[in-house]
Amino acid sequence: STIVKVHPDRNRGLKKTGPQSIGKSRGGWTTKLDMVAANAECALNFSLTPGNAGDAPEGRRLLVQLGPMPAPCSLLMDGAYEGNETTRLGRELGFTPVVPPNPNRLKPWEYDKELYKRRNEVERLFRRLKGFRRVFTRFDKLDVMFLAFVVFALIVIALK
């Protein structure tokens, strides 16, 4: 039999491993927080993606996670989500997409411009989240830790 001595100093801390959702974009190494929000204080669903990932595929995944709506409601989307696939999915789930068409579209559609102005409510929620230094600088290495703090920040925002 062999006796192996283990130094108490050698394994002081476990290596931090796990998903990190960090990708290189024009601004450097970043993370995107994709969100479906009801208003300026209530996030319904969110996820992290690397900075170099596209917005629309993740937005569609979040919509599918929400599932069909019991009553028709408006879906105010950023221009990054104006593609045919995303608007079609929104309609299938019971939403009425409100998004301006790309100026290069051959057949642009009409949209409710007054209702679209309310999209800034979601942008205000992002601004409130970025008021937490730990969110806007991404101190946490692992996604699970970063998302935990985002949930905490959303709770604090809702309670104010």
Pairing of strands 73-76, 95-98: parallel
pLDDT along the chain (160 residues), means of 10: 44 60 80 86 88 89 91 88 91 92 88 90 90 86 89 91
* Residues 43, 66 contacting (CB under 8 angstroms): no
**CATH number of the structural domain 23-159:** 3.30.420
Determine the Cα–Cα distance for residues 106 and 102; give it in Å rounded to an integer: 9
Residue carrying structure tokens 């925002």: 157
Identify the pLDDT of residue 154.
Answer: 92
pTM for the structure as a whole: 0.79
Per-domain residue ranges for the chain?
23-159
Confidence (pLDDT) at 88: 93
At residue 58, the pLDDT reads 92
pLDDT at 109: 86
Residue 32 DSSP label: E
Q: Which two tokens stand for residue 156?
A: 């604090």
Measure the CA–CA gap between 19 and 28, rounded to whole angstroms: 19
Structure confidence at residue 85 (pLDDT): 93
